[in-house]
Structure 1
């Protein structure tokens, strides 16, 4: 279980391959999840959900709820404005980040009283620049203004820096204090699940890390 200094005493955790016990993070809390679909959609959690709405970020100002998202290369992003008591969890793969899921998450937090200037964010384990090779079709989804996130690769390919791109999009949303844990899911098979690594090795691709954040009662 990993934690971020920037989130301070706010109950939160990023799991490794080892299962994470939500009750150890927020005793008595209710875990709230969504069905992630690589979208830019955000939902508000006001109570325990009976179903799992399609979305890729969750925001709440309600104590006792533990917001959870799962990842296996995409970036898990946990956010908090400790002064207003608003927290959020976002699943930021390249599609979601490119589509605005992080900006939408911050906007949802602001609607509950959060201040972007007071909001902090932590980026958990995600696939890193040296491990993320992409092709021309992927590169064509991004404009020239994003060229700095693509490093040289083998012919016809690039190395995409997803964590740096996520930091950039958080900055576009007004978030200045960002902690990137710097943990490459692909490069650490004994510690993290990685969808891309499992695909390359023809292994089971079902493993996921769980990332959670909540407000105590």
Structure 2
């Protein structure tokens, strides 16, 4: 099966992609394009999958740059060959480097200021988004010469509101930050709420002054044939889950 790569017209001529699970070499619960080195999948198979991604990006696998994701608001400038830094965003102005993030329900966000020649990629779960990782990515891009009013940000496949049930203590985190954040929650059963992570991400991006922000409107939880999902795997009692990769290059 060939790779399936979702793209956005908003990112224009830049080579980029939100890769689905289709077209990979993994099997079992990881079936497809599992690119997570932190998973219990066979490491050699994960490297085959990552090589296929690099080829699709017209680059060597050594050009793939990522971070050791820790649900933080830290963003780094890509340094090829350096040990993986603990961060959740990565930016560059160097042509040829392929920025990448891994997700399995959290938001993968790809950024570009084509005029300035600066790009970014961010893993934005609820904690990182709340703590400011999206704004930190914009700041880091401006540090390389970008202008946030020219930056395009696209949120890729993420868990949607209809699948994201949370408890009252979760809501409290957001209300403490801004009482207006209740708009991103709908009532669920009993004391449960349904959280709209992509809408919250778009809100934070637009509040920060980004030139354009959009979501591809793909739900990871609801489409098991195309996407890995941490929450779905948990609900099914599976021992582990695959990781989707999203990439962008100049």
Alpha-carbon shift at residue 34 of structure 1 (Å): 0.6
Higher relative contact order (CA 8 A, sep 6+): 1
Output the TM-score relative to the length of structure 1. Answer: 0.95
Alpha-carbon shift at residue 28 of structure 1 (Å): 4.1
**Which structure 2 segments of 5+ residues have no match?**
23-32, 34-51
Contact 1:26 1:214 in 2 (8 A): no
Contact 2:65 2:97 in 1 (8 A): yes
Name 2:49's counterpart in structure 1.
none
C-alpha distance in structure 1 between counterparts of 2:58 and 2:136, whole Å: 26
Moved more, 8-17 or 28-37: 28-37
**Which structure 1 segments of 5+ residues have no match?**
none
C-alpha distance in structure 2 between counterparts of 1:127 and 1:209, whole Å: 13
Contact 1:33 1:52 in 2 (8 A): yes
C-alpha distance in structure 2 between counterparts of 1:106 and 1:208, whole Å: 25
Contact 1:133 1:159 in 2 (8 A): yes
Moved more, 128-137 or 204-213: 204-213
Question: Aligned pair 1:22/2:54, yes or no?
Answer: yes
1:103-151 C-alpha deviation (Å, 9 max, x unpaired): 0000010111111111101110000010000001111101121010001
Number of matched pairs: 214
- Structure 1 runs (4+) greater than 6 angstroms displaced: none
Question: Aligned pair 1:149/2:184, yes or no?
Answer: yes
Contact 1:4 1:179 in 2 (8 A): no
Name 2:209's counterpart in structure 1.
174
Alpha-carbon shift at residue 187 of structure 1 (Å): 0.4
- Higher helix residue share: 2
Output the TM-score relative to the length of structure 2. Answer: 0.83
